[in-house]
Structure 1
Amino acid sequence: MAGLYRRGDVWWVRFRRNGTHVRKSAKTTRKAEAQAYLERLLAEQAGRARGDAPRHRFEEAVERYFQETRVRPKTLSSYRSNSRTLAPTFNLLHLDEITRRVIAEFVTARKRAGVTDTTIRRDLAFLSVICSACGRWGWLDTNPVTAFGKRGLREARPRTRFLTQAEFDRLLAVASPSLRPAIILAVETGMRREELFGLTTTAIDLNRREVHLERTKTGAPRRVPLSDNAIKTIKGLLDEPGRPRSSYLLCKVDGSRYCDMKKGFGGACRRAKVTNMRWHDLRHTFASWYVQRGGDLYRLSRILGHSGLQMTARYGHLRVEDLHEEIGRVAQNRPQERLIRSTEKAGNDHPPEAHERQNTQ
């Protein structure tokens, strides 16, 4: 027989399905909510018995997605955080009950709670991921998130903090022997943190002066060219006396790889008086210096492994001198500009006495 019971402060429901006893947590401390949850479960069960098309709740979709998905650990951690945020509003809703109105009410509540637009966008992005998966499973016909306008949610400006040469020099001066080569390689190659710390010696081709990355954020392998400083640093690591046997270029004394150097990097930044600096900003430093020295944005996009030029375009503001040169080039080709130049040239071609006659008239 169907009913409710408590485990601690949380209410649970029990009922029979095809002769089997089923017990599920209602995930609430309120009896009325647990009763409503039980009634929904019983109604769904009755509908299936009549041959009705099954309806699925959002929490079912999230549970299945996490069972089947294969994403990076960092992404998975972010998704789980998003799911906890969405749970109070969406978990007990059937997928076809998630409408633009429901999403709008969620956004309004988050804004009133002081949550930033960027964070709300990330929550909606995860909601969209789940709805898209439901579409593939045949649980949902359309994605309600795509129909929801996000114009009221401003996108954060992309971060482009990078080191000046003076900051870089100060940072190297105080960095530990294990941290210093990592900083140099990050700035000289523009590799992402995981790409750098997961770099194996077999992926390095010193003869071709490049690194071959098989596992990247976008999933597409790419080759990263090596500068003279990068090659010098790599050789120094490989030829270091007492280097442990390890397949990783950057390794600990026991040969294992680094996951990151967050603590050491933060301490070095404090000692060097370098503020507002994250490890990923070393990648921004590579890109910014590349552009400032005349590098092409398309080639930079390929080196960084961006999926398109949109991400790389953030560094375009560093090439102001190119804009001045382009304005000058275009101006020279305008008909009015050519007329002015020809008039000036004609004036300069008059002999001095002609100018004197014109002035006396």
Structure 2
Amino acid sequence: MATIHRRVTRSGYVRYRAQVRIKNQPWVSATFRKRSDATKWARQTESAQITRAYSPPNAPLRYRFSDAVDRYRREVLPTKSTDEQKRQSFQLQRWRDLLGDIFVDDITPGAIARVRDQLMGDPYGLAPATVVRYLAVLSHLYTVASSEWEWLETNPVRRVRRPKLPRGRVRFLDKGELSALLRACQRSEHPSLYPIVVLAVSTGMRKGEMLGLRWQDVDLVRNRITLEQTKNGDRRSVPLVGRARAVISEYARVRRIDTPLVFPSRRKPRVPADLRKPWAKAVETAGL
């Protein structure tokens, strides 16, 4: 008996899976882009099996996980930001090291779940949010491999439970606390701490956006900051007004000329400043 099943991949592609099941004969199946091709194959295969003229096809070509990683790096990663390329290339390499270089269709949800638990335990000790990102890039690799490359039928990562993320603590500063924090930042030995905290309070910009800010993105004439690369990948403009404009305008007078960064490292001007210790000291000084 021959059957045709229509299915739609996550990418929106329509595929037709033909299956032929004849008693005392091997069950066989094949996937096609057109229903007519699937129907034709099913009729021919069913007829051949009934007349005992059916000859099983050669085994389909199988691909290893390293093949998938290499192709993903070559075709998919270049479409992403530079930071994402570096991070996801490293994550995929770790998946390869821990899963082993086996066939992509031999990697089961159970194997992925074991690596997930391994990443969260010793010696890695990754946070749940980080492991979720590891699973996300692996899932996308399998989605592309199944829907576009047609290397396998399903994505095993979909059946793997994501780590539960802890609820973040929401903390709002009152006016007194904010004033104390700004005073502490202003007295900091690091020249970038006070301007960047004022900018954060005034604009709501993310830490990564501010640390990656370049002087060419700051327009003190039109009073705005243009963010070319945001977390969502969109280009957006941020108003630069009030205290933030005054502080950045004053800060621009003593800007370094050996780097395009607004907030560079003092020792390595081509690298963003590391404000973790100055920030922690300011928070402690402010009594927060």
Is this a same-fold pair by TM over 0.5? yes
Secondary structure of the structure 1 residue equivalent to 2:284 = coil
- Contact 1:204 1:212 (8 Å CA) reproduced: yes
Aligned to 1:157: 167
Structure-2 residue corresponding to 1:141: 153
- Quote the Cα distance in structure 1 between the aligned partners of 2:107 and 2:192: 52
Alignment of 1:55 with 2:62, yes or no, is yes
Matched, 1:244 2:261: no
SS at structure 2 position matched to 1:137? coil
- 1:90 to 2:104 alignment: no
Once the two structures are superposed, residues 220-277 of structure 1 have per-residue CA deviations (whole angstroms, 9 ceiling, x without a partner) of: 1111122301110122133x268638655446899x9653221x541353266269x9
Question: Does the Cα contact within 8 Å between 2:212 and 2:272 map onto a contact in 1?
Answer: no
Instruction: Look up the match of 2:185.
Output: 171
* Paired residue secondary structure (1:170): helix
Structure 2 distance, partners of 1:89, 1:112, is: 13
1:171–1:269 Cα contact (<8 Å) kept:
no
Deviation sequence 1:255-302 (CA, Å, 0-9, x none): x9653221x541353266269x9xxxxxxxxxxxxxxxxxxxxxxxxx
3-state SS of 1:211 partner: strand
TM-score (norm 2): 0.61
Give the whole-Å Cα distance in 2 for the aligned partners of 1:138 and 1:148.
Answer: 21
Deviation at 1:130, TM superposition (A): 1.9
Q: Say if 1:193 and 1:260, in contact at 8 Å, map to a contact too.
A: no
Q: Quick check: which one's helix share is greater?
A: 1
2:65 is equivalent to residue 65 of structure 1? no
SS at match of 2:237: strand
Tell me if the contact between 2:214 and 2:262 (Cα under 8 Å) persists in the aligned partners. Answer: yes
Structure 1's unaligned 5+ residue stretches are 1-49, 278-361
- The answer (yes or no) to whether the contact 2:264–2:273 under 8 Å persists in 1 is no
Equivalent-residue separation in structure 1 for 2:111 and 2:195 (angstroms): 51
Partner SS for 1:223: strand
Cα deviation 1:13-48 (Å, max 9, x = unaligned): xxxxxxxxxxxxxxxxxxxxxxxxxxxxxxxxxxxx
Range that drifts further, 211-220 or 105-114: 105-114
* Equivalent residue letter for 2:65: F
Moved more, 171-180 or 104-113: 104-113
Partner of 1:28: none
For 1:174 and 1:108, the matched residues in 2 are separated by 42
How big is the alpha-carbon RMSD for the aligned residues of Structure 1 and Structure 2?
A: 3.7
- 1:131 positional shift: 0.9
**2:88 maps to which of 79, 92, 106:** 79
Please, which moves more after superposition, 82-91 or 214-223? 82-91
Partner of 2:108: 99
- CA deviation vs aligned residue, 1:146-190 (integer Å, no higher than 9, x gap): 13344xx31232465676412332122224334432332233222
Aligned AA (2:101): L
Aligned residue runs from structure 1 range 157-306, under 5 A: 157-158=167-168, 160=170, 164-165=177-178, 166-238=180-252, 240=253, 244=257, 248-250=261-263, 259-262=271-274, 264-267=275-278, 269-270=280-281, 273=284
Q: 1:127 is matched with which residue: 123, 129, 138?
A: 138
Instruction: Write out per-residue CA displacement over residues 81-108 of structure 1, whole angstroms, 9 at most, x where no aligned residue.
Output: 4334423553332111222233344445
CA contact (8 A) 1:188 1:230 kept: yes
Q: Which amino acid aligns with 1:141?
A: E
Q: Quick one: structure 1 residues 76 and 178, their matched pair in 2 at CA, closer, same or farther if it must change by over 3 Å?
A: same
Whether the 8 Å CA contact 2:224–2:237 is kept in 1: the answer is: yes
| Aligned-residue offset at 1:128 | 0.8
Query: What is the percentage of aligned positions where both structures have the same residue?
Result: 27
Distance 2:211 2:113 in 1: 42
8 Å CA contact 2:214–2:260 kept in 1: the answer is yes
Distance 1:83 1:127 in 2: 7
**Cα pair distance change 1:110/1:167, threshold 3 Å:** same
Is the partner of 1:139 in helix, strand or coil?
coil
TM-score, normalised with respect to structure 1: 0.50
Structure 2 CA distance for partners of 1:253 and 1:97, relative to 1, 3 Å: closer
Call closer, same or farther: CA 1:243–1:52 in 2, change over 3 Å. Answer: closer
CA contact (8 A) 1:237 1:249 kept: no
Contact 2:266 2:273 in 1 (8 A): no
Q: Per the alignment, do residues 203 and 242 of structure 1 end up closer, same or farther by CA in structure 2, a change over 3 Å counting? A: closer
